[in-house]
Structure 1
Amino acid sequence: MCHARIPRALRGGLRLLALSLLAWPALASAFEIEEQKRFDAIGVEVAVLKVISTADTDLFAPLIHSFQERNPGISVDYSEASSGEINKAILAGAGFDVAISSAMDLQTKLANDGHARSHRSAQTERLPAWANWRDTLFAFTQEPATIVVNPAHFEGLSIPRTRQELITLLRENQERFRGRIGTYDVRQSGLGYLFATQDSRASEGFWRLAEVMGGLRARLYCCSSDMIEDVASGRIAIAYNVLGSYAQARKDLADRIEIIEPEDFTTVMLRSVLIPSTAAAPEAAGAFVDHLLLAAWGGPEAATRAGYPFPPIDLSEQTARRPIRMGPGLLVYLDSLKRGRFLAEWEDAVLQE
């Protein structure tokens, strides 16, 4: 049986309709956990704190241990999940006491829609206004979106320092880099979607870069850690919009990767924490939030004592870094129609036939 080929323009319209019907974020009763680990109380258990987070368990473990040293009666159940799954869990009222996510837009929407408890303390009062949204959502990191490369693939070439240099490099060396570029699959990754929408607002060059990567059959990923591994192994040569904090944490790969903060502008994500309105242990949750904020904002000594695993927060304005600000502006691209249009355009650029 012969099937008529659907024109590209019509395919884009059909995708837009489908994406609009699947409005994001959707309320779902089921959610997926990637990894779960229990950190037993040091002393007699008086409370169990249930944390759901996008941060790798191993990366966050030192912060949990230092929290338990100050609160020996609290056990911590730490569940690692994607930002989208965290959103589903909180909307479903799954009983978590703390939600930590790199997807600032989804966190802001949860707080804006009444799914976060208000929390005030000495630690929240010391935060700058841009790190505290309505006493419900708190920033405790500044993490740049970087380009990670494998220098071994650049023999005879200059490593790009801006997006335009990256575009030029790829256009002039198509055979060398075909199938060897990686970036987020923004349909699946909440953080990838956030970075992409912020890039598109900051520069028209984002769509040119997306088309170039699509023409070279870019590999699509769920998360930064997988991209970093593949750059280090040589499977890909370049990964775009990788979390710099994760790349810096891989000291074992330092001799095989180079981390670049784009000099034209570097988008900076603020990892945020909230206490869900359905938290069963709000007092323990408040103590944990304060512990994170003290580690982040209390200076080098506090960070060291807490085992804070992220680069220090940089308050200098004399850099190319552009922090994403928490607030209603982040909700624009969560509108189902706007999201549908963005994803349809992204698919046309990146998923070229």
Structure 2
Amino acid sequence: MRYLALLAFALMPFGAIAQDWEDRQVFGARDQPALRILSSTDTSFFAPIIKDFIKAAPNFSVEYFVTGTADLDRKFRASPDQFDVVISSAMDLQLKLANDGFAARLSTIEHPETAQWHDSLFAFTSEPAAIVINKRLLGDLPVPNSRQDLIELLRAYPERFHGKVGTYDVRQSGLGYLFATQDARASETYWRLMEVMGRIDARLYCCSGQMIDDLRAGDLAIAYNVLGSYAQARTKTSQDLLIILPSEFPTTMMRTVLASQSAKEPLGAELFIRHLLELQTIADPQNFPLPPMTPTQTSEGQATISLDPALMTYLDQMKRDAFIREWENAVVQHD
């Protein structure tokens, strides 16, 4: 009995952080060293990538943990030695992790300068935020092709869209906060849109997947700033979804990966990142079902979020608090 109690105590540190995962799966032979990957990306997107990696490196297994972007940052900071690789769509939080010394420097990896930070953080996708519409619920109303179009549509038909529009809860979602701050920097239209959404009781979400689920179910008519890659994947099984990239500019993020400075499997972490970046260049949808980085990510007409120190501006606590207050005044405190 005493032995069991001691064993339980020994397992507590990892057990504490292993609770409440959105998903957790193991790939490969369980008798091989486990590479632990902490990610905000749905397993369905990464399973082909992981399986291809294990084919190339069969002496590793992979334990893949999925959670939200803000929760990912908290869990990794609390226990950086429990994970070998960290993957997130929240570029600002990832850049701060690297800047704070949590990422190993992999100086022998060659990657475009615009898609990496100090050889420690590497971008491997280019993904726009989209307006996603349930065509059946929109009916014969005009399709909004820009943020201004969306504002005018919601103002013209407030009763029809009351409680039927969704967006991120930026207080809870790291990616949602990133998209919101970048939208606000680029155009004042963002705040007008948030005020209109607040007046029609917009529904707030942690993540793109839940918004898309509710769009498919008919609980939402429109969702704003949904990850285009997630929505595109769902169009294969749903004819109701229509994806709109705002015509004035789509805000485009790059999904990033880092190796933990405290990794228990540092060799495996580097091998996995190398393999991931190589798959991205090949862009075979069978093995890499995410939008790869392309030359168009830096073209005019797109607000591509850059990997540079300015990205961390809104992570300053005073600036974050001020932004959240303004957002709440627009979206939440609308009565």
Whether the TM-score (by the shorter chain) exceeds 0.5 is: yes
CA contact (8 A) 2:235 2:241 kept: no
Instruction: Tell me which residue corresponds to 1:21.
Output: none
Task: State how far apart, in whole Å, the 1-side matches of 2:17 and 2:316 are.
Answer: 22
Q: Shift of residue 102 of structure 1? A: 0.6
Q: What amino acid sits opposite 1:116 in the alignment?
A: A
CA contact (8 A) 2:124 2:292 kept: no
- Sequence identity (%): 48
CA contact (8 A) 2:145 2:244 kept: yes
Say whether 1:108 aligns with 2:95.
Answer: yes
Say whether 1:36 aligns with 2:36.
Answer: no
Instruction: Tell me which residue corresponds to 1:98.
Output: 85
Q: What amino acid sits opposite 2:180 in the alignment?
A: A
Q: What amino acid sits opposite 1:159 in the alignment?
A: V
Please, what TM-score do these two structures have when normalized by structure 1?
Answer: 0.86
Task: State how far apart, in whole Å, the 1-side matches of 2:195 and 2:119 are.
Answer: 41
Instruction: Tell me which residue corresponds to 1:225.
Output: 209
Instruction: Tell me which residue corresponds to 1:85.
Output: 71
Say whether 1:199 aligns with 2:183.
Answer: yes
Q: Shift of residue 154 of structure 1? A: 2.4
Q: Shift of residue 57 of structure 1? A: 1.1
Please, what TM-score do these two structures have when normalized by structure 2?
Answer: 0.90
Q: In the TM superposition, what whole-angstrom CA distance separates every residue of 1:108-133 from its partner, at most 9, and x where no partner exists?
A: 00100111100133xx31x2211010
Say whether 1:247 aligns with 2:231.
Answer: yes
Q: In the TM superposition, what whole-angstrom CA distance separates every residue of 1:229-255 from its partner, at most 9, and x where no partner exists?
A: 111221110000000000111144441
Instruction: Tell me which residue corresponds to 1:275.
Output: 259
Instruction: Tell me which residue corresponds to 2:42.
Output: 56
Q: Shift of residue 165 of structure 1? A: 0.6
Instruction: Tell me which residue corresponds to 1:141.
Output: 125
Q: Shift of residue 87 of structure 1? A: 1.1
Going from structure 1 to structure 2, the CA distance change for 1:250 and 1:155 (only over 3 Å counts) comes to closer
Q: What amino acid sits opposite 2:54 in the alignment?
A: Q
Say whether 1:260 aligns with 2:248.
Answer: no
Task: State how far apart, in whole Å, the 2-side matches of 1:238 and 1:314 are.
Answer: 28
Q: Shift of residue 88 of structure 1? A: 1.6
144, 147, 171: which one aligns with 2:155: 171
In structure 2, runs of 5+ residues without a counterpart are 1-15
CA contact (8 A) 1:35 1:79 kept: yes
CA contact (8 A) 1:93 1:278 kept: no
- Find the residue that maps to 2:180 and give its secondary structure: helix
Task: State how far apart, in whole Å, the 1-side matches of 2:174 and 2:318 are.
Answer: 17
Moved more, 229-238 or 61-70: 229-238
Q: What amino acid sits opposite 1:84 in the alignment?
A: A
Instruction: Tell me which residue corresponds to 1:6.
Output: none
Q: What amino acid sits opposite 2:38 in the alignment?
A: I
Map residues 319-334 of structure 1 onto 2, 5 A cutoff: 320-334=301-315
Q: In the TM superposition, what whole-angstrom CA distance separates every residue of 1:91-150 from its partner, at most 9, and x where no partner exists?
A: 1234100000010000000100111100133xx31x221101000000010111000001
Say whether 1:296 aligns with 2:269.
Answer: no
CA contact (8 A) 2:37 2:86 kept: yes
Q: Shift of residue 33 of structure 1? A: 2.5
Going from structure 1 to structure 2, the CA distance change for 1:175 and 1:253 (only over 3 Å counts) comes to farther
Q: Shift of residue 46 of structure 1? A: 4.1
Task: State how far apart, in whole Å, the 1-side matches of 2:32 and 2:326 are.
Answer: 52
Task: State how far apart, in whole Å, the 2-side matches of 1:267 and 1:187 are.
Answer: 19
- Find the residue that maps to 1:194 and give its secondary structure: helix
How many pairs were matched up? 316
Q: How big is the alpha-carbon RMSD for the aligned residues of Structure 1 and Structure 2? A: 1.6
Q: In the TM superposition, what whole-angstrom CA distance separates every residue of 1:246-279 from its partner, at most 9, and x where no partner exists?
A: 0111144441100010010101110000011110
Going from structure 1 to structure 2, the CA distance change for 1:313 and 1:161 (only over 3 Å counts) comes to same
